[in-house]
Amino acid sequence: MTSSTGGTARVWGGNAAHRLYSVVVFVLLASLDNVAIGLVPPLYGAIAESFAVPQRLLGLVTAVSFLVSAVAAVGWAYFGDRTNRKPLLMIGTLIWAVGTGGSGLAGNYPTFLAAQLLAAVGLGAVGSVGFSVVTDLISPRRRGLVMSFWGLSQGAGTLAGTLVGGLLGATDWRRPFLLLTVVGLAATAAYLFTYDIRRGQSEPQLAGALATGADYDYRISRADLPTVLGRRTNRWLILQGLTAQAAFGSLVWLPVLFAERAQDQGYSMATAIVVGSVFATLFQLGGVLSIVGGLVGDALQRRTPSGRARVAAVGVLAALPFYLVLFFVPIRIDVPDGAGTGAVVRAVLGSVFTEPTVGLSLLTALLALALTSANSPNWFALIADANPPEHRGTVYSLGNLVNGVGRAAGNGLVGVAFHALRAAFPPPLNYAVGLAAFQLFFIPTGIMYWLAARSSAKDIADVRDLLQSRAEKL
């Protein structure tokens, strides 16, 4: 690792409005990359029919894209922890926009797959490098709350992708991809007007030194990697993603489950796609309550250094029975088959109040998502608490790599499981049984968070001492 105390002091950059604009751009971009991720699953049936391939091959596209994005994120994050982060974010955003546009113009399955993989490479930059930037804006006392908005923007992006894909793509699956391409190009231009956020500017230990104009010039090097992986908290935070994301990855099939239920009740594919997308969107609104998980994590963390990890552990374990209920509660779907998208959406929304089974399913889903959403903000905040600024993007990307492997496994293997279960459970029951089985991966996830709670006090204290000693040198 190298450091420098020389050179001219840089200005912190931007007035309050400029800083707010920059934060908004970063948060919106965190949501847009998840719009791209959520766009494909509601359209599995339509795209598979267009290319004359089985639906499971579309599930494979999503699974491989998760993995490619996660691998690419490690490279993006490492260079982001060593260099200027703003150009990397612009390049990454441009790449995923081009890949998304290519997906909408693809004439066959191999071309569609190649375009999706290109988009995945660009998506790797937005999450990993963006996370590093945002942590430099947040004080430790409010990390859980602010990171809940960061995570919420990603969840909202997935929901928006599900909804946009189902509504705009019900009659022409290419339209959502082309629309998102235009939005991605506009987002790349928006980066031009953000300011460069300084590393370490949110750390209390560095505040005095940075206020005098000193630069925090520590940068990661390959020699730091054993130190990064030597922190026990990092190891548990990284490994939990393998099982957590196997469960979360399977949930991208939620629109398919409800679309299959609609088709089982006699509705056409176009109507079923809209029904599945709207139901899946409604049922994932519990993710909004990640704000509560972030607030609780902040409050408990101020009392004990193991607070955030405990909140995440309890959340994922308590959610399991609610997920199991969600998949098996029968839903009576009553919508006008073949009607316009607006009429179908209104009918689905109305059924929440007029059909008890729909209302019960929505309540169950809200509770399940609310509990598991405590995972996201406290995971983000713990990475920031237990690592110095120049390591955070890399630790996040390593965690995201394992997340990608778990998510790809969950998304891909559950598709295989659905196919295998058809012999014993006819659709849509095979989808319900397969999804329920994959939620059992939350059990080892909760255990690993509990182990992180036991190691986080020492690791957080070590980082604070390190930053204090560096501040004295600066």
199: left (phi over 0), alpha (psi -120 to 50) or beta: beta
Q: Region 176-180: what's the mean pLDDT?
A: 91
Compute CA 172 distance to the chain's CA centroid, rounded to the nearest angstrom: 27
pLDDT digits (tens, 9 = 90+) for 81-137: 887 788 888 888 899 999 999 999 999 999 999 999 999 999 888 878 878 887 887
pLDDT of amino acid 5: 36
Handedness of CA 184, 190, 192, 197 (dihedral sign): negative
Q: How sure is the predictor about 14, in pLDDT bands with cuts at 50, 70 and 90?
A: low
The residues pairing with 219 across neighbouring beta strands, listed in sequence order, are 2
Q: What is the mean pLDDT of the chain?
A: 84
Q: How sure is the predictor about 10, in pLDDT bands with cuts at 50, 70 and 90?
A: very low
Q: Are 46 and 273 in contact (CB under 8 A)?
A: yes
Which of 93-102, 134-143, 427-436 bottoms out in mean pLDDT, i.e. has the lowest? Answer: 134-143
Q: Is the pLDDT at 15 greater than 80, yes or no?
A: no
Q: Give the total residue count for the chain.
A: 474
Q: Is the pLDDT at 364 greater than 80, yes or no?
A: yes
pLDDT of amino acid 2: 41
pLDDT digits (tens, 9 = 90+) for 381-402: 999 999 998 888 889 889 988 8
pLDDT of amino acid 280: 80
Q: Is the pLDDT at 311 greater than 90, yes or no?
A: yes
Q: Is the pLDDT at 184 greater than 90, yes or no?
A: no
pLDDT of amino acid 101: 94
pTM over 0.85: no
pLDDT of amino acid 163: 76
Q: Is the pLDDT at 3 greater than 50, yes or no?
A: no
pLDDT of amino acid 12: 40
Q: How sure is the predictor about 403, in pLDDT bands with cuts at 50, 70 and 90?
A: confident
Q: 336 CB contacts (<8 Å, ≥6 apart)?
A: 343, 344, 347
pLDDT of amino acid 333: 80
pLDDT of amino acid 111: 95
Helix H segments across 251-374?
A: 254-264, 269-283, 290-303, 307-328, 341-354, 356-372
pLDDT of amino acid 351: 85
Q: Is the pLDDT at 65 greater than 70, yes or no?
A: yes
CA–CA gap between residue 365 and residue 361 (Å, rounded): 6
Q: How sure is the predictor about 198, in pLDDT bands with cuts at 50, 70 and 90?
A: confident
R_g over Cα of the chain: 22
Q: Is the pLDDT at 234 greater than 70, yes or no?
A: yes
Domains contained in the chain, CATH given: 16-197 (1.20.1250.20), 228-472 (1.20.1250.20)
Q: Are 399 and 237 in contact (CB under 8 A)?
A: yes
Q: What share of the chain is helix, strand, coil (3-state, %, to 5)?
A: 80, 0, 20
